[in-house]
């Protein structure tokens, strides 16, 4: 029966079907198109090999809405090329509005800006990941704020989500917030109707443009806020942003009160930068007197500024003179407190941790100037 005409036709079709099946399973050569794999294929390993990660995904809204491993990671080949990172552009295939807003904010240029900073370039390459990259990677990772694989909105909205990066000696915003009345009441009540959290003022309405409302730069109108191309924004744009921030404040406060508070913060910032200028002038004088050592000529050139005296960003904390080291602490750790804590309403960071420290820095810098002059005058 098998080799009758009907039998042979049957065998032919059987073989053809088997061939088609094998072809379908084998898929196409890797580099031309992704495997036709089922997410069950991923789960069969990962449920056991990375159980915590898997469990987080199971509890997420993604899982409930059919967004799974393959949606974001595609396959092992594509994933390993990115070290399992999923770039914002991928997230934006569904979350288009958020991606557009994100692209207007400084978060979206944080990695590229970091890579050209002298400080970063001075850190041994093998350890950079643990230093600046872990936070500046926000440019390439939506999961910096929405921790994977749970991607919880509740967690992303919590001030602690921002705190993971926005803290520390050179940008103690978490610390300022937590030592303000806003932060204290939010901590006690966990109620954004009672007190603002970070996103209330910085990402109102869930906007992913976290540069919202930032109107004033380091030193008022002399050095206004810059846009993503590093071009200072216009006076009109400054006022527009200040107005949009005031709209947030008046959710709770009277316009008069809010305006007064923000203008007072402007004045505090100006006062802080005035002190910083005093410190800078003292060092420039000593440099002119040829008393800095090692001198600029005697040291390794700055990675981006070459053989120049660099005070304030992008000043290094390596290989400079002691005078510059004193100024480093002043501008990097102390000015930032006076500057930003007025706006975050933290008395401790404005006064004791900020202004007082800057005044002590000035005594240190002036003292060192006198010592250098005394030490080296006999040599003249």
Q: Which residues between 56 and 95 bind a copy of itself (CB under 8 A)? A: 56, 84
Comparison of 101 and 282: residue with beta carbon closer to a copy of itself: 282
CB of 113 to a copy of itself, least distance (A): 16
- The set of residues, in sequence order, having a beta carbon less than 8 Å from that of 310 and lying 6+ positions away, is 118, 302, 316
Sites for a copy of itself among residues 246-285 (CB under 8 A): 250-255, 257, 264-265, 267-268, 271
Pick from 200, 239, 199, 198: nearest CA to 216: 239
Residue of 44, 65, 77, 184 interacting with a copy of itself (CB under 8 A) = 184
CA 298 – CA 278 distance, rounded (Å): 26
Judged by CB under 8 A, does residue 370 bind a copy of itself? yes
Judged by CB under 8 A, does residue 126 bind a copy of itself? yes
Residue of 78, 188, 300, 308 interacting with a copy of itself (CB under 8 A) = 188
Comparison of 2 and 127: residue with beta carbon closer to a copy of itself: 127
Q: Is 150 helix (H, G, I), strand (E, B) or coil?
A: coil
CB of 160 to a copy of itself, least distance (A): 5
Judged by CB under 8 A, does residue 121 bind a copy of itself? no
Burial class of residue 89, CB neighbours in 10 A (0-12, 13-18, 19+): exposed
Whether residue 172 contacts residue 67, with contact meaning beta carbons closer than 8 Å, is answered with no
How many CB atoms are closer than 10 A to CB 110? 19
Judged by CB under 8 A, does residue 27 bind a copy of itself? no
Sites for a copy of itself among residues 316-355 (CB under 8 A): 317-322, 325, 328-329, 342, 345, 347-348, 350-353, 355
Judged by CB under 8 A, does residue 130 bind a copy of itself? yes
Judged by CB under 8 A, does residue 16 bind a copy of itself? no
Comparison of 103 and 113: residue with beta carbon closer to a copy of itself: 113
CB of 7 to a copy of itself, least distance (A): 51
CA 90 – CA 140 distance, rounded (Å): 10
Residue of 32, 66, 374, 380 interacting with a copy of itself (CB under 8 A) = 374
- The H-or-E segment that residue 69 falls in is helix 69-73
Whether residue 202 contacts residue 95, with contact meaning beta carbons closer than 8 Å, is answered with no
CA angle 39, 42, 45 (to 5 degrees): 145
Judged by CB under 8 A, does residue 151 bind a copy of itself? no
What are the backbone angles phi and psi of residue 302, rounded to the nearest 5°? -65, 135
What's the full length of the chain, in residues? 380
Comparison of 236 and 370: residue with beta carbon closer to a copy of itself: 370
Sign of CA dihedral 60, 62, 66, 72: negative
Judged by CB under 8 A, does residue 53 bind a copy of itself? yes
Residue of 170, 239, 277, 284 interacting with a copy of itself (CB under 8 A) = 170
Number of H helices, E strands in the chain: 22, 0
- Which of 44-52, 110-118, 217-225, 234-242 is the region at the interface with a copy of itself (rule: CB under 8 A)? 44-52
Judged by CB under 8 A, does residue 189 bind a copy of itself? yes
CB of 27 to a copy of itself, least distance (A): 23
Q: Residue for token digits 């079709």?
A: 13
Structure-token pair, residue 120: 């970063």
CA 145 – CA 147 distance, rounded (Å): 6
């Amino acid at each position: 029966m098998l080799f009758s005409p009907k039998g042979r036709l049957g065998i032919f079709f059987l073989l053809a079907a088997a061939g088609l099946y094998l072809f379908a399973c084998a898929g196409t050569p890797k580099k031309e198109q992704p495997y036709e794999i089922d997410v069950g294929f991923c789960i069969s390993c990962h449920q056991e090999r990375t159980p915590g990660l898997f469990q987080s995904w199971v509890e997420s809204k993604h899982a409930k809405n059919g967004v799974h491993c393959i949606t974001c990671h595609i396959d092992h080949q594509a994933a390993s090329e990115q070290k399992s990172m999923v770039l914002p552009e991928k997230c934006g295939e569904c979350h288009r509005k958020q991606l557009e807003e994100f692209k207007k904010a400084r978060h979206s240029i944080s990695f590229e800006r970091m890579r050209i900073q002298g400080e970063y370039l001075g850190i041994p390459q093998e350890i950079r990941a643990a230093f600046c990259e872990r936070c500046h990677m926000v440019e390439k990772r939506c999961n910096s704020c929405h921790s994977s694989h749970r991607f919880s909105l509740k967690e992303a909205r919590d001030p602690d989500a921002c705190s993971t990066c926005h803290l520390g000696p050179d940008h103690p915003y978490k610390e300022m917030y937590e030592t303000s009345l806003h932060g204290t009441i939010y901590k006690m009540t966990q109620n954004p109707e009672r007190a603002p959290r970070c996103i209330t003022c910085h990402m109102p309405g869930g906007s992913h443009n976290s540069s919202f409302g930032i109107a004033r730069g380091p030193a008022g109108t002399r050095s206004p806020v810059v846009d993503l191309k590093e071009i200072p924004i216009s006076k009109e744009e400054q006022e527009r942003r200040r107005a949009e921030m005031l709209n947030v404040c008046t959710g709770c406060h009277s316009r008069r009160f809010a305006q007064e508070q923000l203008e007072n913060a402007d004045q505090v910032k100006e006062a802080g930068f005035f002190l910083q200028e005093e410190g800078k002038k003292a060092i420039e004088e000593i440099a002119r007197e040829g008393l800095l050592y090692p001198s600029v000529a005697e040291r390794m050139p700055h990675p981006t500024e070459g053989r120049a005296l660099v005070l304030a960003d992008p000043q290094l904390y390596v290989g400079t003179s002691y005078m510059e080291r004193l100024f480093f602490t002043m501008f990097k750790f102390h000015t930032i407190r006076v500057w930003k804590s007025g706006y975050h309403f933290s008395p401790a960071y404005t006064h004791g941790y900020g202004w007082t420290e800057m005044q002590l820095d000035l005594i240190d810098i002036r003292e060192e100037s006198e010592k250098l002059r005394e030490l080296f005058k006999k040599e003249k």
